[in-house]
Amino acid sequence: MIDFVVVPRRRSYWIEEVRGGSDRRVIACCANEDDALQRLRQLRERQEAREQRRMAVEMSRFGASNSVFVTEMS
């Protein structure tokens, strides 16, 4: 699971990507907190959309693989 956090550092705010609870990667640096929070929301919305698309694909695969075709016998 991927999450994003804002980390204040001196006079700037860094946005970091957190994978698996411990792996961190710097995504962006913003001059003020408002800009950082706006960017954070955008990143989280994009990630949520990716997750929803992935789940939709998995569910469609699951439904297709578990469908049963019934034929009438005379």
Over residues 5-24, the pLDDT tens digits come to 999 999 999 999 999 878 99
pLDDT for 68 equals 53
pLDDT for 57 equals 87
Angle (CA) 32-20-62 rounded to 5° is 115
pLDDT for 51 equals 92
Percent of the chain whose pLDDT exceeds 70: 82
Q: Are 47 and 2 in contact (CB under 8 A)?
A: yes
pLDDT for 28 equals 93
pLDDT for 74 equals 52
